[in-house]
A and B are shown apart, each in its own frame.
Chain A
Amino acid sequence: MNFEFSEDQKMIKETARSYLADKCTSADVRRILDGDESFHPELWAGVAEMGWLGTAIPEEYDGLGLGYLELCVIAEELGRAVAPIPFSSTVYLFAEAILAAGTEEQKKKYLPKVAAGELIGCLAMSEGAGAVTPKTINASVSGGTISGTKVPVVDGDVADHAIVVAKTGSGNDEGSMSLFVVDLKGEGVTVESVKTVDPTRGHATITLNNAPAEALGDTGEGWAIVDRIFDRAAVLFSFEQMGGSQAALDMAKDYAMDRYAFGRPIASFQAIKHKLADMYVATELARSNCYYGAWALSTDAPELPVAAATARVSASESYAHTSKENIQTHGGMGFTWEFDCHLHYRRSKVLGLTIGSLPRWKDRLIDRLEARNVA
Chain B
Amino acid sequence: MDFNDTPEEAAFREECRSWLDANRLVGWEDRIGRDADGIAVSREWQKKKYDAGWACLHWPKEYGGRGASPIERVIWSQEEGAIGGLSSLFIIGQGMCAPTVMAHGSEEAKTTRVPRIASGEDIWCQLFSEPAGGSDLAGLRTRAVKDGDEWVINGQKIWTSGAQHSDYGMIITRTDPSVPKHKGLTMFYLRMDTPGVEVKPIKQINGNSEFNEVYFTDVRIPDSQRLGDVGNGWNVSLTTLMNERLAVGGGFPTNFEDMFEFAKNVEDHNGPAINNGSVREKLADWYIASAGLRNTGYRLTSALSRGETPGPEASISKLVLGENRQNMASFMLDLQDMYGVLNDPNLSAAEAEYQATFFRAAAHRIEGGTDEILRNIIGERVLGLPPDQRVDKNVPFTDIPTGDK
Contact = CB atoms under 8 A, between A and B. Distances in A.
Contacts of B215: none
Contacts of A373: 257, 260-261, 264
A4 B307 CA distance: 13
Interface centre among B274, B302, B379 (most CB of A within 10 A): B379
B217 to A, nearest CB: 38
Nearest to B377: A277
A216 to B, nearest CB: 31
Given A253-B385, A289-B292, A4 B280 contact: no
B305 A281 contact: no
B313 interface: yes
A362 B281 CA distance: 6
Contacts of B238: none
A173 interface: no
Given A365-B287, A373-B260, A373-B264, A276 B383 contact: yes
A2 B305 contact: yes
What does DSSP make chain A's interface, helix, strand, loop or mixed?
helix
B103 interface: no
A235 B116 CA distance: 51
Interface size class, chain A: 35 or more
Contact of B1 (A2, A270, A287): A2
Interface size class, chain B: 35 or more
Contacts of B313: 284, 287-288
B385 A2 contact: no
Contacts of A289: 288, 291-292, 295
Interface stretch (B2-10, B86-94, B107-115, B338-346): B2-10
Contacts of B1: 2-5, 69, 291, 294-295, 298-299
A270 B261 contact: no
A310 interface: yes
Contacts of A292: 291, 295, 298
A271 to B, nearest CB: 11
A1 B386 contact: no
B264 A277 contact: no
Contacts of A274: 372, 375-376, 379
A366 B372 contact: no
A332 interface: no
B303 interface: yes
A34 interface: no
Interface in B250-290: 257, 260-261, 264, 274, 277, 280-281, 283-285, 287-289
A365 B386 CA distance: 39
A8 interface: no
A18 interface: no
Interface stretch (A35-43, A84-92, A261-269, A334-342): A261-269
B293 interface: yes
A143 interface: no
Given A277-B378, A288-B313, A373-B264, A1 B296 contact: no
Given A273-B385, A277-B375, A365-B287, A284 B296 contact: yes
A273 B386 CA distance: 9
Contacts of A264: 386, 389
A200 interface: no
A183 interface: no
Contacts of B386: 257, 264-265, 267-268
Interface in B185-215: none
B264 A310 contact: no
A314 B298 contact: no
A363 interface: yes
A97 interface: no
A256 B302 contact: no
A306 to B, nearest CB: 8
A359 interface: yes
Contacts of A127: none
A2 B291 contact: no
A278 interface: yes
Contacts of A286: 292
A182 interface: no
Given A4-B299, A273-B379, 9 more contacts: A2-B1, A3-B301, A270-B376, A270-B388, A288-B295, A289-B291, A295-B1, A362-B285, A366-B287
Interface of B: 1-5, 257, 260-261, 264, 274, 277, 280-281, 283-285, 287-289, 291-293, 295-296, 298-299, 301-303, 305-306, 313, 316, 319-320, 372, 374-376, 378-380, 382-383, 385-389
9 contacts: A268-B389, A274-B372, A280-B383, A281-B316, A284-B296, A285-B292, A310-B288, A317-B288, A365-B288
Nearest 4 CB-CB pairings of A with B? A285-B292, A288-B295, A362-B284, A273-B379
